[in-house]
Amino acid sequence: MLPKYLYRGDSDPTKERDLKLTLNSCIIETNLCNGGNGREIFNDNLASLVHKHIHTGWDKTHFLSFSTDEQIAFQYANRDKKEYEEIFASQENWDFAILTIDTSLFISNGIEEVETGIYHTNFIPYSKEFQPIYKLILIDSHTYLTNNKNENFDLNQAIMKAKESKEWLILPAMPFGNGEFTSKLDVACFKERRMFKII
């Protein structure tokens, strides 16, 4: 079952994804945008890719991490635990953002659990690039990995991390180019975008 809200803490400290620019353009990008292999999501075992994102590390990941716990999102966004204040979203001089997906914005008759812990859904996007319907895959990481423990590699560390972080993975599932998925997530599914400045 989908939670009501999913939270992402994002700061993009090395500006790999141009978060400030793209967020103003009503999208955010996955790390796939930095020269990743768009076919990898189809060619590799999904459990191994989720494991790589959560435990091993995947610098060209196709996923965006969210949590069902807003405080965990704050911890990821502000890893150094510095003092901060919320500022107006229209201001450009911010250090991190908390992005909230509202799953009630999904088209209700378009939500389908295609496998235990994996949901296919869609929503009406802002960007003309993706209209009329944006397709999205959500993965309840803990449930999905626990259900796939019979893989021929150890998922225990990833399962533990997914449980601690209450982690859900978002996979943009809009076709792009030659049979790949886009690296862009349209933000029409966001309830709010809150910006914070370190003080």
- Dist. CA 37–CA 57, nearest whole Å: 15
Residue showing tokens 């309840």: 140
Model pTM? 0.94
Residue 6 burial by Cβ neighbours in a 10 Å radius (0-12, 13-18, 19+): buried
The whole-number average pLDDT for the span 149-169 is 90
Nearest to 174 by CA among 48, 30, 15, 18: 30
Residue 41 has pLDDT above 90, yes or no: yes
Residue 177 has a pLDDT of 80
The b/e string for 129-159 (b: 16+ C-beta within 10 A; e otherwise) is ebeeebbbbbbbbbbbbbebeeeeeebeebb
Domain residue extents for the chain: 5-198
Which residue is listed with tokens 């020269």? Answer: 35
pLDDT over threshold 90, residue 156: yes
Backbone angles phi, psi at 64, to 5 degrees: -120, 130
